[in-house]
Amino acid sequence: MDVSAGVFRDGMSCLGAAVSLITSGGPEGRHGMTASAVCSITDSPPTLLVCVNQKNRSHDVFNGNGNLCVNVLAGRHVALAEAFAGRGDAGRFETGDWTTLETGAPVLADAVVAFDCRIMERRAIGTHSVFYARVVALLKPAQAAETVIWFDRRYHPLKAAPPEQGAAAPANQRG
């Protein structure tokens, strides 16, 4: 039994994942893309991985610069996610408050969390590359945690506080 690319993609649309901007800066210039294929590997040493299509322009920029920053997005960033996916009217880096930490990769100042990484290794698998990246700096603004999840081919904003199941009254209300 073979699993076709279409059946696989349809199945993968049901694997929810956070939406991030993966950015890089250095000799190859500044570039970035929207991605959901990001995964924690280990905290010893702090390492994550990012999967990137080899045809994506960002792929060679990441490879050449040797760095990448994973900027995890919230619901308020959907327009930015669209811009970095090459959709919409806004150019990449035209909006958003950008800074840098250790590597020189662009860091979104109000990201849910940003992981500034040096690329340690690249492994090609079919059409894609897996980048193994060591986290060398981290930005986590102190504010109420929320994020945005890509699931069923849509954005789903998600707040840290769990939803009240069927409750109409606000939580923590005092009688």
Of residues 11 and 88, the one with the C-beta less far from a copy of itself: 11
Q: Kindly state the smallest distance separating residue 24's Cβ from a copy of itself, in Å.
A: 18
Measure the CA–CA gap between 131 and 142, rounded to whole angstroms.
29
Type of residue numbered 152? D
Of residues 83 and 135, the one with the C-beta less far from a copy of itself: 135
Of residues 90 and 136, the one with the C-beta less far from a copy of itself: 136
Q: Kindly state the smallest distance separating residue 111's Cβ from a copy of itself, in Å.
A: 9
Of residues 83 and 133, the one with the C-beta less far from a copy of itself: 133
Of residues 4 and 172, the one with the C-beta less far from a copy of itself: 4
Q: Kindly state the smallest distance separating residue 165's Cβ from a copy of itself, in Å.
A: 9
Q: Kindly state the smallest distance separating residue 73's Cβ from a copy of itself, in Å.
A: 10
Instruction: Say if residues 103 and 69 touch (Cβ distance below 8 Å).
Output: yes
* Binding region for a copy of itself (CB under 8 A): 1-12, 14-18, 20, 37-49, 51, 53, 70, 72, 101-102, 112-113, 115, 123, 125-128, 130, 132, 135-138, 140, 145, 147, 149, 151-152, 154-158, 160, 162-163
Type of residue numbered 42? T
Query: In degrees, to the nearest 5, what angle opens at C-alpha 72 toward C-alphas 67 and 74?
Result: 155
In the Cβ-directed half-sphere of 149, how many Cα atoms lie within 13 Å?
Answer: 12
Q: Kindly state the smallest distance separating residue 58's Cβ from a copy of itself, in Å.
A: 16
